[in-house]
Amino acid sequence: MARLHLPHSLTARVLSAVMLILILGGCLVALSIWANGRLAARQAYDRLLLGAANDIAESVRIQDGEPFVDLPVSAFQLLAQAPDDRIFYAVQVPGGPFITGLDRDTVIEVPQQPGTAPFYFTADLNGESARFVRVARLFAEREFSGEVEVLVGQTLRARQMMTAGLMRDALLPMAVAGVLLLIMSWFVTRSALRPLEALSDDLTRRDPHDLTPMASDGLPRELQVMLTAMNRFMGRLDRQVDTMRNLIADTAHQLRTPVAAIRVQAEIAQDDPEPPARARALDRLLRRTRSLGTLLDQLLSRAMVIHRIDSAPRRPVDLREVALDVLEQSDHELVAPGVEVRLEIGETPVLVNADAFSLGEAAKNLLGNALRHGDPPVSIGATQEGNSAILWVRDHGPGPATPIADHIGDRFNRTTRSGEDSSGLGLSIVKSTAEAFDGTVEMARDETGFRAALSFPATRGIE
Amino acid sequence: MIRILLFCLMFALPGTLSAQEATASFGGGDDPMLIRSTTDIAIIAPVLERFVELNPDLVITYEQWGSNALFQHSRTVCKGGKTPADVVFSSAIQQMVWLVNSACAHRYRSSRTEALPDARRWRDELWGITTEPAVIAYNKELLEDQHIPRNRFALLDAMRTQPDLLRGRVATYDIAASGLGYLFAYGDSLEATTFGSLIEGFARIDAVATCCSSEIIRDVAEGRFLIAYNVLGSYVANADAPGVGVILPEDYTLVLSRALMIPAQARNKDAATGFLDFLLSPEAQNLLAASGLVAPMDATETGLTPSARRFIALSPALLVARDQNRRAELFKLWNDAFDVETAR
């Protein structure tokens, strides 16, 4: 199958489509005009034919027992309305004697038709196609009784000329209108496509590093949709570039202090000849190294979470499973060995639309905080409260001081209590996760302890 | 250079199929061309001579026919018998219309034919080439001025008031023998109610119906007839008879244009169309005017009001004239009135 080759310019495409429509429409209209014109010409000249035939039939009289025609000139003047057409006429008794006519030798085959009503037919007249009418007149005289048949025929030249004239009169304005429409559609197309041109000009001129949103004011709705999508895409790109930049800066910033500390401890261990002092330095070195590992884990985890927030598809996640997974990974035993962690989950799934990995990381951080800063026993769980699906961690301590709670999630929000093995990144992960999935971080304190929770809009499960 | 062979064959019986009355040959070329017409050779000769002068490779055979004979012959030719002519023209235009209506003619268009008025052109197959009025001719010496009929009413009055003067001395065409005479009578029967009275008047004074324009005019000039009704003006102009006066009837004057057609079977159509274009050229029209075949018909020349000039148009309405019932009726009326003068 040959593929229609479409021109590349949108204007050319629209114009060729318009032209195609105009031509097709024009053909259809021309066809209908031709059919109508033909019908009109046929009816007009058929009436003349019938009028002439009736005139002649009227003039038939019975004279000395024979039909006699006093041929009326008016009938022929009527027929001469088609001035260039040849005429045939005959008056005869059907199957009987010829009364009068143009030429006794020219015989026209009359189709058989019942009744005496006038009827039209088309036949050949001396080598030219012609239209005929047959009119019958009935006589019931003493001397003559029966039917007299009048045949009148005429060639088709006047009809064809009338059809052609009607066609010409109708087609000429139509052709002019078609050309005007084409010109108009050119202008309309150009003006409709002008915003698109302006947009592409804008894009071409733009700085390659400029990822700020483009102005969509005054643009057609269709283009605004496109532009919004593009702006969203640029925004995501911008955020990711930012994230990357932050990650690199954070990593460098975060690693500088511990690495310097490790170097100092290592130098002390190397320089101090005293075995107890050396053992102490080595012990500090080990702790610093472990803390550095945790820091790296958190940095990676945060980068991963922020990356996934923008890119990972959202799926229904059961918060109970998230809580279970966190518990089973048993990372808490490294942070606080010997502390018992309880799992509190119900029978029904608690579903949210989110990314399981990010939720897991956030939960891990909340649990880590509770173990590190709170008092045992610590419990983790997922519940549905109204329209909110909640993933929570609870301990029996007093919770953080209010100012800290207000600033949670800011990067490097380190306090005196956070100590050397905390980077303050944990709550930042929690906050980012909550915001990414339309949720909030809730901190609540009561007489029995402190609860940190991630609250999301609940999703109905997909059965 | 002109060889005129005259065979003046009288019409012994009306409607008899006769061959041509006379033949003439023009030009000395190799390309033969055959013209058949009702026009007298002497009248048309100057035009033909000029035409062969312009087309030296042609040799034209011109046959002069009686109108009815020419019609019957052309009809036979149309049905595939006999030798076709290249050009046929006749003053009995109703017969020509009939032939064209029966698809016997060849189509042709040129700027000259398109310049003709509608009344002188039909289907681009039939063209009117002359302008000739039907006139009343009279003998100037024998008819006193106050008796000259300026119109048909005057003629009717004259026939009523002076039957003895006019008895046997009014002539007109025999409509059975002459297609032109029939056409004029038919035209009269359509134009006015005077026709009936005229026929009655003719019957009362024993008018003579006879044949052939030139004979009628000769007899008027010689005083045998005082008045000739409905003779073709061109023949009077050509007869060179100073004693014959011409009246264009003031009530109405029929004007005829000889009709020319090129038979569909014509063998030399190029010569025929060339001849047609030549006839319509100003030069040929002047030649025809000199022969009296193109009469000036404006009001200043003729003194006729526009409504009195009745041009017999080339139109399918003329088919009625050829209708056999109509003819029978007209003949009946005519024959009741006339003591038809046959062989003279």
pLDDT band of B178, cuts 50, 70, 90: confident
* pLDDT reported for residue A154: 93
Mutate which: B125, B323, B326, vs A, most A CBs within 10 A: B323
Domain count, chain B: 2
Residues of A in contact with B190 (CB under 8 A): 73
Chain A residue with minimal CA distance to B314? A83
**Cross-chain CB nearest to A100 (options B122, B124, B325):** B325
* pLDDT reported for residue A426: 75
Cβ(B2)–Cβ(B46) below 8 Å: no
The type of residue at B251 is D
Q: Could you tell me the residue range of the domain that residue B169 belongs to?
A: 132-255+307-340
Cβ(B174)–Cβ(B231) below 8 Å: no
Cβ(A281)–Cβ(A268) below 8 Å: yes
pLDDT band of B19, cuts 50, 70, 90: low
Name the least confident of A148-162, A184-198, A250-264, B50-64.
A250-264
State whether B251 and B267 are in the same domain.
no
pLDDT above 70: percentage of residues in chain A? 91
Strands B121-122 and B208-210: unpaired
DSSP-derived secondary structure letter, B83 = P
Give the dihedral sign, CA A366/A367/A368/A371.
positive
Q: Compute the nearest-CA separation of A113 from chain B (Å).
A: 27
Cβ(A450)–Cβ(A390) below 8 Å: no
Residues of chain A contacting B, Cβ within 8 Å: 68-73, 76-77, 79-80, 83-87, 89, 99-103, 105-106, 125-128
Residue B295 counted as domain residue: no
State whether B141 and B152 are in the same domain.
yes
Name the least confident of A419-433, A443-457, B2-16, B254-268.
B2-16
What average pLDDT does range B164-181 have in this prediction? 87
Residues of B in contact with A101 (CB under 8 A): 323-324
Highest mean pLDDT among A133-137, A399-403, A452-456, B195-199: A133-137
Chain B residue with minimal CA distance to A106? B102
**Cross-chain CB nearest to A80 (options B79, B315, B322):** B315
Q: Compute the nearest-CA separation of B6 from chain A (Å).
A: 34
Structure tokens at B153: 């009413």
Q: Please, what is the Cα angle at A373 between A367 and A374, to 5 degrees?
A: 75
Chain B residue with minimal CA distance to A154? B101
Residue B192: CB partners within 8 Å, gap ≥ 6? Answer: B152, B251, B252
Cβ(A371)–Cβ(A387) below 8 Å: no
User: Residue B101 and residue A100: Cβ atoms within 8 Å?
Assistant: no
User: Residue B323 and residue A86: Cβ atoms within 8 Å?
Assistant: no
Q: Which of A44, A49, A15, A152 is nearest to A92 (CA)?
A: A152
Q: What would the pLDDT profile of A77-90 be if each residue is shown by its tens digit?
A: 899 888 889 999 99
Would you say residue A334 has pLDDT above 70?
A: no
User: Residue B319 and residue A76: Cβ atoms within 8 Å?
Assistant: yes
Residues of chain B contacting A, Cβ within 8 Å: 79, 98, 100-103, 118, 122-124, 190, 315-317, 319-320, 322-326, 329
Please identify which residue in the block is written with the tokens 């109204």. A386
pLDDT band of B71, cuts 50, 70, 90: very high
Would you say residue A461 has pLDDT above 80?
A: no
Residue B300 counted as domain residue: no
* pLDDT reported for residue B15: 38
Would you say residue B61 has pLDDT above 90?
A: yes
Question: What is the reported pTM?
Answer: 0.68
Chain B residue with minimal CA distance to A105? B79
Helices B67-78 and B179-191, axial angle in degrees (round to 10) = 100
**Cross-chain CB nearest to B103 (options A77, A100, A128):** A128
Would you say residue A43 has pLDDT above 50?
A: yes
**Cross-chain CB nearest to A87 (options B316, B326, B329):** B316
Residues of A in contact with B322 (CB under 8 A): 102
Q: What would the pLDDT profile of A356-381 be if each residue is shown by its tens digit?
A: 888 888 888 888 888 877 777 888 88
pLDDT above 70: percentage of residues in chain B? 92
User: Residue A127 and residue B315: Cβ atoms within 8 Å?
Assistant: no
Structure tokens at A412: 């490097």
The type of residue at A278 is R
Would you say residue A96 has pLDDT above 50?
A: yes
Residue B80's Cβ-count burial label (10 Å; 0-12, 13-18, 19+) is exposed
Q: Which helix (H) or strand (E) holds B183?
A: helix B179-191
Residues of B in contact with A66 (CB under 8 A): none
**Cross-chain CB nearest to A86 (options B101, B190, B317):** B101
Residue B87 counted as domain residue: yes
What average pLDDT does range B12-40 have in this prediction? 77
Mutate which: B186, B265, B320, B329, vs A, most A CBs within 10 A: B320
State whether B19 and B44 are in the same domain.
yes
Residue B48 counted as domain residue: yes
Residues of A in contact with B316 (CB under 8 A): 76, 79-80, 85-87
Cβ(B315)–Cβ(B122) below 8 Å: yes
Please identify which residue in the block is written with the tokens 């035409």. B51
Would you say residue B10 has pLDDT above 60?
A: no
Residue B143 backbone dihedrals phi, psi, to 5 degrees:
-105, 120
Q: What would the pLDDT profile of A150-185 be if each residue is shown by its tens digit?
A: 999 999 999 999 999 999 998 899 899 989 998 998
Name the least confident of A248-257, B83-92, B166-175.
A248-257
Residues of A in contact with B310 (CB under 8 A): none
State whether B104 and B217 are in the same domain.
no
Could you give the count of Cα atoms lying within 13 Å of A185 in the half-sphere of its Cβ?
19
**Cross-chain CB nearest to B319 (options A87, A105, A126):** A87
Residue B203's Cβ-count burial label (10 Å; 0-12, 13-18, 19+) is middle
**Cross-chain CB nearest to A73 (options B100, B123, B190):** B190
DSSP-derived secondary structure letter, B171 = E
* pLDDT reported for residue A377: 82
Cβ(A92)–Cβ(A106) below 8 Å: no
Q: What would the pLDDT profile of B324-337 be if each residue is shown by its tens digit?
A: 888 888 888 888 87
Detail the DSSP E strand segments found in A296-366: 315-318, 341-345, 351-354
Mutate which: A49, A84, A88, vs B, most B CBs within 10 A: A84
User: Residue A76 and residue B118: Cβ atoms within 8 Å?
Assistant: no
Structure tokens at B164: 């003895």
User: Residue A99 and residue B102: Cβ atoms within 8 Å?
Assistant: no
Would you say residue B53 has pLDDT above 90?
A: yes
Residues of B in contact with A97 (CB under 8 A): none
Residue B115 backbone dihedrals phi, psi, to 5 degrees:
-75, -15
Structure tokens at A163: 């059809």
User: Residue B98 and residue A85: Cβ atoms within 8 Å?
Assistant: no
Determine the 3-state secondary structure of A66 from DSSP.
strand
Distance CA A26, CA A34 (A): 12
Neighbours of A289 (CB within 10 A): 14
Q: Which of A194, A111, A187 is nearest to A149 (CA)?
A: A111
Q: What would the pLDDT profile of B130-155 be if each residue is shown by its tens digit?
A: 999 999 999 988 888 888 888 899 99
CATH numeric code, A314-463: 3.30.565.10
State whether B238 and B264 are in the same domain.
no
State whether B234 and B266 are in the same domain.
no
Q: What would the pLDDT profile of A340-357 be if each residue is shown by its tens digit?
A: 788 888 888 888 888 888
State whether B247 and B115 are in the same domain.
no
User: Residue B325 and residue A80: Cβ atoms within 8 Å?
Assistant: no
Neighbours of A259 (CB within 10 A): 12
User: Residue B103 and residue A85: Cβ atoms within 8 Å?
Assistant: no
State whether B187 and B321 are in the same domain.
yes
Q: Compute the nearest-CA separation of B335 from chain A (Å).
A: 18
CA end-to-end distance (rounded Å), chain A: 46
pLDDT band of B113, cuts 50, 70, 90: very high
Cβ(B60)–Cβ(B25) below 8 Å: yes
* pLDDT reported for residue A135: 93
Residues of B in contact with A71 (CB under 8 A): 320, 323, 325-326
Detail the DSSP E strand segments found in A2-115: 60-63, 66-69, 87-92, 98-101
State whether B118 and B165 are in the same domain.
no
Cβ(B188)–Cβ(B334) below 8 Å: no
Q: Which of A209, A251, A207, A176 is nearest to A22 (CA)?
A: A176
Residue B278: CB partners within 8 Å, gap ≥ 6? Answer: B51, B54, B284
Q: Burial code of B129-149, b = ≥16 C-beta within 10 A, e = fewer? A: bbbbbbbbbbbbeebeeebbb
State whether B218 and B316 are in the same domain.
yes
Residue B94 counted as domain residue: yes
Residues of A in contact with B186 (CB under 8 A): none
State whether B154 and B249 are in the same domain.
yes
Residue B253: CB partners within 8 Å, gap ≥ 6? Answer: B133, B134, B135, B302, B304, B308, B309, B310
Residue B290 counted as domain residue: no
Q: Compute the nearest-CA separation of B28 from chain A (Å).
A: 38
State whether B138 and B214 are in the same domain.
yes
Neighbours of B331 (CB within 10 A): 15
Determine the 3-state secondary structure of A314 from DSSP.
coil
* pLDDT reported for residue A330: 65
* pLDDT reported for residue A401: 67
Q: What is the 3-state secondary structure (H, E, C) of A438-453?
A: CCEEEEEECCCCEEEE
What average pLDDT does range B181-197 have in this prediction? 87
Cβ(B300)–Cβ(A44) below 8 Å: no
What average pLDDT does range A304-312 have in this prediction? 77
Q: Burial code of A186-218, b = ≥16 C-beta within 10 A, e = fewer? A: eeebeeeeebeeebeeeeeeeeeeebeeeebee
pLDDT band of A418, cuts 50, 70, 90: very low
Please identify which residue in the block is written with the tokens 């000029």. B50
Residues in chain B: 344
Mean of the per-residue pLDDT values of chain A: 83
Q: What would the pLDDT profile of A407-417 be if each residue is shown by its tens digit?
A: 555 555 444 44
Name the least confident of A133-147, A231-245, A323-337.
A323-337
User: Residue B317 and residue A80: Cβ atoms within 8 Å?
Assistant: yes
Cβ(B92)–Cβ(B67) below 8 Å: yes
Would you say residue B343 has pLDDT above 50?
A: no
Please identify which residue in the block is written with the tokens 């359509």. B190
Residues of A in contact with B98 (CB under 8 A): 102
* pLDDT reported for residue B3: 38
Residues of A in contact with B124 (CB under 8 A): 84
What average pLDDT does range B44-65 have in this prediction? 93
Please provide the DSSP assignment of A373-426 as one string.
Answer: HS-S-EEEEEEEETTEEEEEEEESS--S-HHHHHTTTSTT---TTT-TT--SHH
Residues of A in contact with B103 (CB under 8 A): 86, 125-128
Residues in chain A: 463
pLDDT band of B110, cuts 50, 70, 90: very high
Structure tokens at A125: 């007249």
Q: Cα separations (Å) of A8 from A12, A16, A55, A242, B134?
A: 7, 11, 69, 38, 80
Determine the 3-state secondary structure of B298 from DSSP.
coil
Residue B31 counted as domain residue: yes
* pLDDT reported for residue A142: 84
Distance CA B197, CA B155 (A): 10
- ipTM of the shown complex: 0.80
